[in-house]
Structures are given as structure tokens and as C-alpha cells.
Amino acid sequence: MKNSITLKSEELKDICSKILTAVDSNGLSEVTETLELILADKILYLNVTNREYFVKIKLLTEVEGEFHATVHAELFLKLISKITTELVTLEIEDNNLLVSGNGKYKLPMVYEGSDLLVLPKIEIGNETNSFTIPGSILNSIYIYNSKQFAMGNIVNPIQSLYYVDEQGAITFTTGATVNKFTLAEPIKLLFNSKLVKLFKLFKKEDIQFKIGQDQVSEEIVQTKVKFISSGIELTAILPMNDSEVQKVPVQAIRKMAFNDYDNIIVINREELLQTINRLSIFVYSSTSIDRTFGIFEFGSDEVVIKDINKINSEKVKYSNSTALSENYTCVMDFNDIKLVLETTNDEFINLSFGDHKAVVISRNNIYNIIPEIN
């Protein structure tokens, strides 16, 4: 077995920085905190798991032979992400992994008894469907749907999950984010945040998606999914069953997102964001309980935005002609709107409103439902 390998640090750093955000360091099991490095046929495999997901990443090398080390995942990933040298050398010495970059670092390897710990793989035994998903869709779920969890309140565990079917993805708290896309086959799945964070490992290439159901006992059937790209395999056991999926109010949320509202305005995203940022300074210094709320008065060609105490205000002109027959006033949370505006680089966004329940901010295939405050 080969005792050392030398790699380009940028290639290794890119992978490690992405894995780091999803490593499950719960302290309950060594398996959830460890990373396995295996060299075979000039390919270095980086494996990490928390028993609910298993990630295998391939890194092409010019190194012959074999290499096998298992180390504390967060320690290794953080170290590699901070190395600035062009090359990184990994070397096995006794029961340690030596890392040479800006300096020399010693990481103890993880053993199970007297044997080096081997991470348990997750396999799909009974595959029920397979089709291709564009990597851009997985990235959009991570980028856009994840923001919803910082908006509103989570009162039910189902609200901490991502609902995905062949029509798109939904996350919901007090409001909701609807990501509209089309998949090749009908599915209804729930993903957790750890799994979705790993979607940023995938680039824009097409991803082979597999799904299956394995009977693990008389009472328990596990739904498993697998995402395969040219250099990455991600397999996961989903935290769901049919009854859990049915708890997501899919039809009601999509109806609200795609509703034919009485009023639709187009507004410059950056102008609206800067306005809310300035007014937020005064709102946060307010003694009002509703310190993050703002008042929006939509007129025929502009919206007047005020802090909740109606002391400070700004006007933002529309970028389209409207048919507003009368002014429309509502109260919304400045924080929610800021999170939406900061997530996109689109020059213009659409605001749809009129039912006194919610305002929908949309651009391209993303719809954010911002509840009106009574």
C-alpha cells in the first residue's frame, strides 16, 4: 500500500469546502464525523457519511498504488480549506495521516477496535425508477428554497423539509418558496437540509437520479435516492413515508403562488432593496413590538414604503404601466423581503397582490409568498 500521495491543493480544496458545510458532527457516533480517503486505479475517493447519506467523490490523480486513511472529517476538511500552497501531500505514518502544505500537520486516524474504520455504504437494493435531472435544478433547490427557513416560523417538523415532485420544489414556514421546474418522471419526496446542502457539489451537468424502496423489516420500508455525476455519487435514506408527504399543503401553496392576482407590478430589485435597507435602520431602533414590519402603499405608478410608526418613508417608481384603480395598502416583514431580494441578481422582479393575504415576489421560475401582516 502506498504511504503518500501529492495533489493539487485547489482541486482538493474545492471539494473539501463544499463537503464541510454538510458534515454531520453530532458527537453521537464516530461514523458521523469521519472522512475516508481511498486511492485505487489512480483515483482518490473521498467518502463521508452520517448513516442517512453517503457521499463518494472522485479525484483523478497520476498516483499509482493504494492508499487508505480514515480521519476526523471536520478537522481534515477545515485544514485543507485553509491551505494556500499549490500542492498538498498526504502521508500515512504509523496510526496518523500527515498533511504537508503551508506546514506539516498530524491527524490521528480513526479505528474500530484494531482495524481502520471503514465507512458503511448506503446501497439501493430495489430500484424503482431512474431518470436524468439537470444539475442546475439541484443547485436552484439549494439556493432558493433554503432561504425560506430564515423567513417566518417553523411550527411543525414537516416545515423543516424540502418537498420535491415532478412540478418543482416547495419549502414553507409562515410563507413559502415555490421553485417551478419539470422532471421526467412523477415523484413525491421529502429531503432534509443535510442532503440539500450537498446539492452544491453538483455542477450544471446532467445528474443520473435513481430511487428505490428497500424493506428493512416487516414494518419499515426505506425510500432511498441516488444522484450520480461524472465525479460524485450521493446516496441517501429519506426521512419520509407516504403519510408525511401528504402533510405538505402542495395544492394550496401552488395556487397561492400562481394565482391570477388583480395587481402585478414590475420594480427594480436593487432600488427596492436599498430602500428597505435604509428604512430598516429606523425600524430596528423603534420600540414597537413589530419592529421588523413595514407599510407598503401601492399607487398607480409607485409604491410608498414606510416604517411601522409612519415616521420615515420612501417612494419607489414602477418599471411598468399598471391598471391599479385604487391604492392598495399592506404590512409585510422587511426581513422576509430582504432575504428574497438578496438571493437573486435579477434586475427586475414582479410583485403580485390583491387578496389581502399575501404578496408574491416572482422572477423566472421562483415564487416567494410573503404573508401580509394583520
| SS3 assignment, position 2 | coil
- DSSP helix/strand/coil, 8: strand
pLDDT of 27 strictly over 60:
no
Q: Which of 84, 116, 148 is the last residue of a domain?
A: 116
Residues 223-239 have a mean pLDDT of 93
Answer yes or no: is pLDDT of 359 > 80. Answer: yes
Sheet holding 358-363, edge to edge: 188-191, 162-165, 168-172, 176-180, 366-371, 358-363, 348-353, 263-268
Q: How many CA atoms lie within 13 A of 152 on its CB side?
A: 24
Q: How many angstroms separate the Cα of 262 from the Cα of each of 60, 297, 320, 353?
A: 56, 15, 15, 7
- pLDDT score recorded for residue 259: 93
* For residues 163-173, average pLDDT: 97
CATH number reported for the structural domain that contains residue 142 in this entry: 3.10.150
Whether residue 40 sits in one domain with residue 91: yes
Interval 348-372 mean pLDDT = 96
Say if CB 337 and CB 152 are below 8 A apart.
Answer: no
Structure pTM?
Answer: 0.90
Do residues 214 and 222 make contact, with C-beta atoms less than 8 angstroms apart? yes
Q: What integer pLDDT is reported at residue 372 of this predicted model?
A: 96
* Segment 266-291 mean pLDDT: 82
Rounded-to-integer distance, Cα 52 and Cα 25, Å: 13
Q: What is the mean pLDDT of the chain?
A: 91
Lowest mean pLDDT among 155-159, 163-167, 208-212, 337-341: 155-159
* pLDDT value for 90: 95
pLDDT for 56-106, tens place per residue?
999 988 888 889 999 999 899 999 989 999 999 999 998 999 999 999 999
Q: For the residues 261-273, what does the mean pLDDT come to?
A: 95
Q: What share of the chain is helix, strand, coil (3-state, %, to 5)?
A: 25, 40, 35
Q: Report the domain count for the chain.
A: 3
- Please check whether residue 121 lies inside any domain of the structure: no
pLDDT band at 287 (very low <50, low <70, confident <90, very high): low
The pLDDT score that the predictor gives to residue 306 is 95
The CATH number given to whatever domain includes residue 323 is 3.10.150.10
Quick check: is 39 in a domain? yes
> According to the model, what pLDDT value does residue 172 have?
97
Asked if 349 and 272 count as a contact pair (C-beta separation under 8 A), the reply is yes
Is 108 within a domain? yes
Residue 208 sits in the same domain as residue 137: yes
Judged against a pLDDT cut of 60, whether residue 288 lies above it is answered with: no
With CA atoms as reference, report the closest residue to 333 among 343, 341, 325.
341
Asked, for residue 191, whether it belongs to a domain, the answer is yes
Ranges of beta strands (E only) in 28-126 are: 34-40, 43-49, 53-60, 67-72, 87-93, 96-100, 104-108, 111-112, 115-116
Looking at residue 291, its pLDDT comes to: 66
Per-residue pLDDT, averaged over 302-324, amounts to 92
Cβ atoms of 102 and 85 closer than 8 Å: yes
Look at 207 and 31; give whichever has higher pLDDT: 207
Q: Which residue, 205, 239, 257, sits at the end of a domain?
A: 257
When pLDDT is cut at 50, 70 and 90, the band that residue 216 belongs to is confident
Q: Domain boundary residue among 222, 257, 292? A: 257
Q: What is the pLDDT of residue 249?
A: 96
Give the pLDDT confidence score for residue 11 in this predicted structure.
87
Q: Is the pLDDT of residue 137 over 90?
A: yes
Q: Which domain holds residue 213?
A: 127-257
pLDDT band at 239 (very low <50, low <70, confident <90, very high): confident
Quick one: average pLDDT of 166-193? 96
Please give the distance of CA 103 from its chain centroid, rounded to a whole number. 34
**Same structural domain, 136 and 34:** no
Question: Which of 21-25, 253-257, 291-295 is least confident?
Answer: 21-25
Rounded to 5°, the CA angle 240-245-251 comes to: 160
Q: In this structure, is residue 122 part of a structural domain?
A: no
For the cut 80, the answer to whether the pLDDT of residue 290 exceeds it is no
